[in-house]
Structure 1
């Protein structure tokens, strides 16, 4: 049983691509094969939920170099490395470079399927989180500068009187900005507002 999504198989060996593709497609996965890392990168849409199965030793760009390039492009698709030439240092390097897991050929089919489903679940969660953050950032962009000031003060746990004193405005004006802020952010409580702002990364500013 699969968890949906698009599986990219990247290997310069056509027999391997066809074999993995047949096995996974027979289990209901949607498959796209690529003969090289560059072929993958040329048409890759990182916004489509999926994962990448990549060989290590490929001409032009190795699987490990692909990991580095995906990171440079800020592509968050999970990568599972599959190779016939595995050793411990290579496995460590792959995992440190961002690979989700590392398999030796011949691959244990059920273990690979379990890993793929885990990767797809991770990719889906990442996509949902990115969408949620984008929605929140869209709301934040609609705030006035003063509403943003009030939002930061609420994050700091300040009450209306203290906010008014800090900003040099009346408590009544703070109440108006606060009301408008909550409406624009579609926040039902101060805690809900803070959760949204933390999701947007305001706690790191």
Structure 2
């Protein structure tokens, strides 16, 4: 987990870094004077929080935010705004920013928002890992097993699935058992959660 500070203002970068170094985040802080410098460091695959100034020469904060989101990074972005940038900061939340903080910010406010953002990023990272695992697991199924799984998720009974696929109910039962074995689940609810996690990310693998 990292905290990345991207701000062209040397004083803001240094003071924010010193503040965060007074907490237990001291070993994971990196600073950058521009978005280009940040992207050159190739850090989008990491997990953590980005403190991102809105107004910067060249690539501004909104451009940096959009690029981070376009790359589907698990980094959580907090915008740093001056008073005149508040409307723009609010607008960035529609682009995927987690929050924004207004200059001059208090010590407790910046520590709190960074702590929250790190927690969000960690959760996002864990969900991404679960999704990848779910996709890999689903890929083990044969085309016919995938057809049966699709029907099961629709909530159809075995006999209805058999009719629609032109196979026997016993064959559906066999496929269902193999599907559960391959997916390493013990119940239909677990199967459904895994299915949607792999497909849309709307479900979790919480125990039933």
Same fold (TM over 0.5): yes
Q: State the TM-score, normalizing by the size of structure 1.
A: 0.90
| Structure 1 unmatched ranges of 5 or more | none
Give 1:86's match in structure 2, choosing from 81, 84, 87.
Answer: 84
Q: Matched residues in 1 for 2:111 and 2:182: separation?
A: 44
Cα distance change of structure 1 residues 202 and 177 upon mapping to structure 2, 3 Å threshold: farther
Deviations 1:14-69 (A, max 9, x none): 22211111110120211011110111112233332201001122121111121122
* 1:22 has 2:11 as partner: no
Mean Cα displacement is larger for which, 95-104 or 105-114? 95-104
Cα gap change, 1:52 to 1:203, in 2 (>3 Å): closer
1:100, CA displacement in angstroms?
1.7
Which of 145, 165, 185 lines up with 2:183 in the alignment?
185
TM-score by length of 2: 0.89
* Residue 89 (structure 1) shift: 2.4
- Give the structure 2 partner of residue 9 of structure 1: 5
Superposition RMSD in Å = 1.8
Alignment of 1:47-196 (within 5 A): 47-84=45-82, 86-196=84-194
Uncovered stretches (5+) of structure 2, i.e. residues with no partner: 203-208
CA contact (8 A) 1:78 1:99 kept: yes
Q: Cα gap change, 1:59/1:202 in structure 2, threshold over 3 Å: closer, same or farther? A: closer
Q: How far off is 1:202 after superposition?
A: 6.3
Contact 1:13 1:35 in 2 (8 A): yes
For the 8 Å contact 2:135–2:199, the answer to whether it is kept is: no
| Contact 1:197–1:203 (8 Å) recurs in 2 | no
Count of equivalent residues: 200
Aligned residue for 2:50, secondary structure, equals strand
